[in-house]
Amino acid sequence: MKIIKLGLISAVVLFMVATIIGLLLPSTVVVSRATDISRSADSVLPLLTDLQRWPEWIEGVKDNGFAVTTPQSKGVGAKAKVNGNIITLKGIEPRKVTSLWEGGNGFNQDAEFNLFTDSANTVTTVQWAFTQHIGWYPWERLGSFMNDKILGPVMEKSLENLKKKMEQP
């Protein structure tokens, strides 16, 4: 009986410690990557706003069953599905594209492409950021440490693909 009581008390204390540590961690996680492309923002924007063109440069989507699920592939409201995730274009501005990535497991992430140009409009910096709002559960907060390690390399490779595609003669 003492062993069971000790085990229960230990489990409760461990859960409380993990919860307290988790509450000290931020509730919003942002993973961001950027690249410079030697083209105007107007020439880069079509590859960001047309879901049909995403497999041309986003790493791994072609291999994971990427498919546009709405009649239109570009513009606000266009949707696609890849690897159990539903992607919806939420907003398109001259220098910003926002989308929602809804995971099959209930985790949603806001994705944002921001375009910054030099004064001559010959070089465009494309910044891609994923933002995830984390619940209070300790395993969610502690698990969010892996977001950068998981998303970062894929985002870097994708932006490298976009740069190569845009800068090829």
Query: What pLDDT, in 10s, does the model give residues 114-154?
Result: 999 998 888 999 999 999 888 777 777 777 778 888 889 99
Per-residue confidence band for 65, with pLDDT thresholds at 50, 70 and 90: confident
C-alpha separations of 8 from 18, 69, 92, 137, 138 in Å: 15, 49, 53, 19, 18
So what's the pLDDT on residue 137? Answer: 74
The pLDDT, as a whole number, for residue 25 is: 74
Q: 27-167, what's its fold?
A: Alpha-D-Glucose-1,6-Bisphosphate; Chain A, domain 4 (3.30.530)
CA distance 120 to 19: 51
Domain ranges of the chain: 27-167
